[in-house]
Structure 1
Amino acid sequence: MSYAIGDAEVVAWIRESTTTGLNIGAAIPPGFASYATVVIPDDDAGRLAHDRTLVELLRRHSPESSWWLGYLETGGDPIPFPDAPKVGLYAGWRYVIVHAGSDEALSLRDGHWGRTLPELLFPDDRSWLVSALWDDDWRCVGGPASLIGSMVEAAELETRVVDFTQDATPPGHIAY
């Protein structure tokens, strides 16, 4: 199967609207109805259940849409399509952006260190955005209130609703 590789224009809406700091706006642009952080489990089994649950909830909110998947080049984790052009985002970090589907969100990465999901996910309609920043052990999410509500209700996800201006760092975690 072949996938389209995204360029800087695909993520311009994120790059041009995020800020620096500890609030959710460092990862997610303004304009979403709700925001949350979701802690990434430390153990492989917990992480796999977390990833599957998160993708299933995202699918329910974009059932007909393809997704953009962003893989952060850290030098430590292998990324799909390592020779593909990279785009700069956030603090100039380099991402491979791939146009694929929800199934590929769980399968393009080889599971190195128990990681499967890309660091960046959003559907074609941009109705939600999930982003895990470099070195953070949580994901930031912006989207419809119904999506955030379903994440709060999911037993496999440790979700905390945040407003746009408050520190998004989950209690007990450290932002780098």
Structure 2
Amino acid sequence: MDRDGQSWRIGTADDVAWIAGHTTHGPSVTAAIPPVFEAYATFHPPHGIGVDVHERAVVDGLAARTPEQQWWLGYLDTGAHDIVFPGAPTVTLYWGWSYLLVEAGPEQALTWRTGHLRGGGALPDLFFPADRSWLVSALWDDTWTDIGASADMLAGLLSDPLVNARLVSPDEDACPPGLTRD
């Protein structure tokens, strides 16, 4: 698919086979992130900080700790929200939800979308680097975002107050204090 004067590869079921069918049901972080990572966390914009500032801090933190490579960006197709390439083939994840998956990078993660179902902001609903060293996923009905990664990666994100991350164990309820499930 073409955008910004460039051709972008659309992902297939093979590109997310490591996620599909490997998450759990329930309120834990493993509902969004397969239980294959060293550590897990959740994050959401801190009170008084704009979504764009928060999202830039998240992407900058991830990019600074990830070797240069393409990222897979996944946009949940709700029929009502921007998926960047309407009409492109989708993949199925979680409980039969359709996602457009496109191979791009950190800058596209921050600029392609014109708003998502969790309010303002541009971040994809799901994204991870080609080496699968981490996975960020926000489920349809959650107001926060989950991440699985190395302990070092999460330590870096935890140190940035604009990211507003907190560690969670794989079997702990992922809902951050002060937030509610829809």
TM bucket normalised to smaller? over 0.9
**Letter of the 1:27 counterpart:** A
**Superposed displacement of residue 86, structure 1:** 1.1
Choose from 57, 61, 65 the match for 1:57: 61
Q: Are residue 17 (structure 1) and residue 22 (structure 2) matched?
A: yes
Q: How does 1:97-176 map to 2 (within 5 A)?
A: 97-111=101-115, 113-176=119-182
Q: Secondary structure at the match of 1:13?
A: coil
CA RMSD of aligned residues (A): 1.6
Cα deviation digits, residues 76-101 of structure 1 (max 9, x gap): 32220011011111111110000011
**Superposed displacement of residue 174, structure 1:** 2.1
Q: Is the 8 A contact 2:82 2:115 kept in 1?
A: no
Structure 2 residue aligned with 1:67: 71
Q: Is the 8 A contact 1:40 1:139 kept in 2?
A: no
**Superposed displacement of residue 41, structure 1:** 5.4
Structure 1 stretch 33-42 or stretch 72-81: which is displaced more? 33-42
**Superposed displacement of residue 33, structure 1:** 1.1
Distance between the aligned counterparts of 1:93 and 1:129, measured in 2? 17
What's the % identity of the aligned pairs?
47
Question: Structure 2: which 5+ residue stretches go unaligned?
Answer: 1-5
Distance between the aligned counterparts of 2:47 and 2:75, measured in 1? 20
Q: TM-score, normalised by structure 1?
A: 0.93
Hey, which of these two has a bigger chunk of helix by percent?
Answer: 1
Distance between the aligned counterparts of 1:24 and 1:77, measured in 2? 24
Distance between the aligned counterparts of 1:23 and 1:122, measured in 2? 19
Closer, same or farther: CA 72–41 of 1 in aligned 2, 3 Å: farther
Closer, same or farther: CA 41–133 of 1 in aligned 2, 3 Å: farther
Q: TM-score, normalised by structure 2?
A: 0.90
**Superposed displacement of residue 111, structure 1:** 4.0
Q: Secondary structure at the match of 1:115?
A: coil
Q: Is the 8 A contact 2:42 2:168 kept in 1?
A: yes
Structure 2 residue aligned with 1:47: 51
Closer, same or farther: CA 18–46 of 1 in aligned 2, 3 Å: same
- The size of the alignment, in residue pairs, is 175
Distance between the aligned counterparts of 1:33 and 1:57, measured in 2? 18
Distance between the aligned counterparts of 2:113 and 2:33, measured in 1? 23
**Letter of the 1:126 counterpart:** R
Q: Is the 8 A contact 2:46 2:162 kept in 1?
A: no
Q: Are residue 30 (structure 1) and residue 35 (structure 2) matched?
A: yes
Q: Is the 8 A contact 1:22 1:175 kept in 2?
A: no
Structure 2 residue aligned with 1:8: 13
**Superposed displacement of residue 75, structure 1:** 2.4
**Superposed displacement of residue 156, structure 1:** 0.6
